[in-house]
Amino acid sequence: MSKTAPLTLSKLLGNFFALFVLFVISFIYYNVVHTFHDRYREPKIFLFLFIFHYLLFMLLWCFFRAMLTDPGVVPPLWGFYMGDSEQKRRRYCLMCHVFKPERSHHCSACNRCVLNMDHHCPWINNCVGFYNRKFFILLLVYVLISTTLITITLFPTVYASVKQIIEKRDIYAYKEAALFSAYLLNCLLNGVMFMFLKFHIKLIFTNITTIENMDKQNLPNLIVYNKGYKRNWIQVFGRNPWLWPFPMTGRSGKPVGDGVIWNDEVVQNFDEEIPANENEARRSSRLTGSGVAASRERLASPVRQGNSLEGTRKEFESTLDSSSRVKADSHHVGLLVSP
């Protein structure tokens, strides 16, 4: 059974990366506000500062949600759902002592297995996985929008400041130098975020992760996860479009699925019409997930009663056998009824 992972050196160093991110945000924020603080009564400046502070709030909200949200832990007993012993051997994690579901990987920095792991991001000091991938993407979006707004709005002011420094040859113009440095840093972030966000949007539209994208030989096998642009997007951002811009989930805004089972039975609701409201979404989820929930209940019941894992395994196998017999009987009945 997986336990709380001890802190690693990479995890400790990640705290300094996160603090550095906050320092950069504070440095740019100070120079932007200090530039316009005496002109905030002007309508255009007031509108700019209002939008800027709103974007900053959303950016920080996404940053802390991505950093503090658990990306997904592997259920300790889920391995009984796996197939043959060879598959179990290949997917067993010697570090966490759990069977890894498909698309899950062990992170050496976090010292744990992560569901649908995309990558470990040192800037948020956390892994990007099944449950916080949406927050990470939104963080990139708001950083890109914020830096674009600053780049466009501050350009005339920065240009005038640089021109003044050159004409006066004043190397002690600290205010102008700080503004110019913040502007260059902002432009650098803007370019990096554009390329980074473009890359991750492409991954979402094809329903693959950064780790999976690096394995070029296995890419053709990952097409089974691709359900189309719309369904792939909903799988990460949830069914409720009103919650897409916000780093929150709710009942209809959480990722589709559980991050453990990726077969067609679990995602078959993707092949149907997307539910129009939350009640239909819950009803569809109950119908499509009833078989999996029943199997899990049978699996967990003897464990709660204190039986051995061997007894759990036998009961689960008997459940599968009875399920197969029901399918066979249904098939024969269908043949008899057919004209």
Q: What is the rounded distance in angstroms from the CA atom of residue 297 to the CA atom of residue 165?
A: 72
Which residues on adjacent β-strands are paired with residue 303?
none
Q: What is the rounded distance in angstroms from the CA atom of residue 247 to the CA atom of residue 37?
A: 30
Q: What percent of the chain has pLDDT over 90?
A: 45
Q: pLDDT (tens digit, 9 = 90+) per residue, 170-188?
A: 666 778 888 899 999 999 9
Least confident piece of the model among 110-114, 245-249, 255-259, 300-304:
300-304
What's the N-to-C CA distance of the chain in angstroms?
53
| pLDDT of 309 over the 70 cut | no
User: Which has the higher per-residue pLDDT, 176 or 151?
Assistant: 151
Positive or negative, the CA dihedral 171, 177, 180, 186 is positive
Q: Which residues contact 109 (CB under 8 A, 6 or more apart)?
A: 8, 10, 11, 14, 120, 122, 127
Q: Quick one: pLDDT band at residue 10, thresholds 50, 70, 90?
A: confident
Q: What is the rounded distance in angstroms from the CA atom of residue 125 to the CA atom of residue 110?
A: 9
pLDDT at position 38 is: 84
Q: Would you say 78 and 101 are in contact if contact means Cβ atoms under 8 Å apart?
A: yes
pLDDT at position 69 is: 95
Closest C-alpha to 291, from 250, 252, 328, 319? 319
Helix (H, G, I), strand (E, B) or coil at 76: coil
CA distances (Å), origin 132, targets 62, 73, 177 = 10, 12, 38
Which positions are catalytic?
121
Q: Quick one: pLDDT band at residue 81, thresholds 50, 70, 90?
A: low
Max distance between CA atoms of the chain, in angstroms, equals 97
Q: What percent of the chain has pLDDT over 70?
A: 71
CA distances (Å), origin 305, targets 17, 128, 143, 204, 301 = 46, 36, 51, 42, 7
pLDDT at position 314 is: 52
Helix (H, G, I), strand (E, B) or coil at 131: coil
Q: Which residues contact 271 (CB under 8 A, 6 or more apart)?
A: 227
| pLDDT of 329 over the 50 cut | no
pLDDT at position 269 is: 46
Positive or negative, the CA dihedral 139, 64, 13, 8 is negative
Q: pLDDT (tens digit, 9 = 90+) per residue, 15-47?
A: 899 999 999 999 999 999 998 888 888 899 999
Q: Would you say 260 and 74 are in contact if contact means Cβ atoms under 8 Å apart?
A: yes
Kindly state the average pLDDT of the residues 77-98.
69
| pLDDT of 247 over the 80 cut | yes
Residue 202 exposure: Cα atoms within 13 Å on the Cβ side:
9
Kindly state the average pLDDT of the residues 305-315.
45
Looking at 80-167, which runs of residues are DSSP E strands? 92-93, 98-99, 105-107, 112-114, 119-121, 126-128
Please list the alpha-helical segments (H only) found in 247-308: 278-304
User: Which has the higher per-residue pLDDT, 200 or 77?
Assistant: 200
Q: What is the rounded distance in angstroms from the CA atom of residue 69 to the CA atom of residue 60?
A: 14
Q: Which helix (H) or strand (E) holds 85?
A: helix 85-90
Amino acid at 169: R
User: Which has the higher per-residue pLDDT, 202 or 166?
Assistant: 202
Q: pLDDT (tens digit, 9 = 90+) per residue, 266-304?
A: 444 444 434 434 444 444 344 334 444 443 444 344 334
In the structure encoding, which two tokens stand for residue 277, read together?
């409201």
